[in-house]
Amino acid sequence: MRKQIAAANWKMNLKKDEAQSLMQALVQGVKDATVIVAVPFPYLNMALEASAQSAHISVSAQNCHHKESGAYTGEVSAPMLQSLGVQYCLVGHSERREYFSEHHQMLAHKVDICLAHDITPIFCCGEPLSVREAAAQAHHVEQQLRESLFHLSGEQLSKIILAYEPVWAIGTGKTATEVEAQDMHHHIRSLIANQYSAGVADAVPILYGGSVKASNAKTLFSQPDVDGGLVGGASLVADEFIAIAQALKK
Ligand code: PGA
């Protein structure tokens, strides 16, 4: 079976003490599950130190710049993340696409720079409400993958993690049904199989994101092409997120 993953995305939340307590609670509470925690930059070191006490928890950045280094005040590079020991980085989250104008080409560069520095990109895709209402979500997601990922070799693609996050389900309390999630995950896997091979498609974990909670995680994760979740709001509450991690397929 593919790797099943519960990924937390803290976004721009929590002060230092709260972040430390949450991390400690995860170190204590997560058993028998693969967990990745995407924390704000100032907490990376703290999270890395805490995760060293757990066999199950890894740390992710939420973003990185698409260039190696240079005069980009306020930015953080992939080589910096690598030098800290960060193993994962979110790329192309819909909030980055929407509020920071991150487009296909830039995201392709971010994917490349992460891979060049041994950081696994967790590449996010997903359609806004208007696209879903026009029933154009399959094409929308296909374009996101084609423009930012399909330049990779099969070997490179099989190293990344994908997250399908319909924008209308993020932070809204509105979750895709398990059938909607499975349909899109299956579509994504078929696109990868056609572009590369069934073997590559089979290797890539595809997480679902958008209002995942302890109460809906098991149903979503039980779908054959759903390999876990990328969790925002519910990842800020230790017990809730630990319960989500426990709902991963075994
Ligand atoms: P949510 O966020 O779980 O709060 O909907 C998910 C995400 O944006 O990754």
Q: What is the mean pLDDT of residues 112-129?
A: 98
Q: Ligand 1, atom 6: nearest CA belongs to which residue?
A: 232
Each residue of 178-216: pLDDT tens digit?
999 999 999 999 999 999 999 999 999 999 999 999 999
Q: What pLDDT sits at residue 118?
A: 98
pLDDT at 173: 86
Beta bridge partners of 23: none
Count of CA atoms in the C-beta half-sphere (13 A) of 119: 32
| 140 catalytically annotated | no
Give yes or no for residue 42 having a pLDDT over 90. Answer: yes
Place 57 in a pLDDT band, splitting at 50, 70 and 90: very high
pLDDT score, position 30: 97
pLDDT at position 174:
84
Convert the pLDDT of each residue in 148-173 to its tens digit. Answer: 999 999 999 999 999 999 999 998 88
Give residue-wise pLDDT tens across range 88-105. Answer: 999 999 999 999 999 999
CB of 26 closer than 6 A to ligand 1?
Answer: no
7 forms beta bridges with 36, 230
Q: Look-up: residue for tokens 């209402």?
A: 133
Ligand 1 pocket check for 216: Cβ under 6 Å: no
Nearest to 152 by CA among 101, 113, 97: 113
pLDDT at position 250 is: 87
Measured between its terminal Cα atoms, the distance across the chain in Å is 9
Say if pTM beats, i.e. exceeds, 0.85. Answer: yes
Confidence of residue 21 (pLDDT cuts 50, 70, 90): very high
Q: Specify the pLDDT at position 54.
A: 97
Ligand 1 site-directed mutation target among 129, 215, 230, most atoms within 8 Å of CB? 230
pLDDT value, residue 186: 98
CA of 147 to the centre of ligand 1 (A): 23
User: Quick one: which of 2, 57, 9 has its CA closest to 30?
Assistant: 57
Going by pLDDT thresholds of 50, 70 and 90, the confidence category of residue 175 is confident
For residue range 74-87, list pLDDT tens digits in order.
999 999 999 999 99
Mean pLDDT of 113-140: 97
Whole-number mean pLDDT of the chain?
Answer: 97
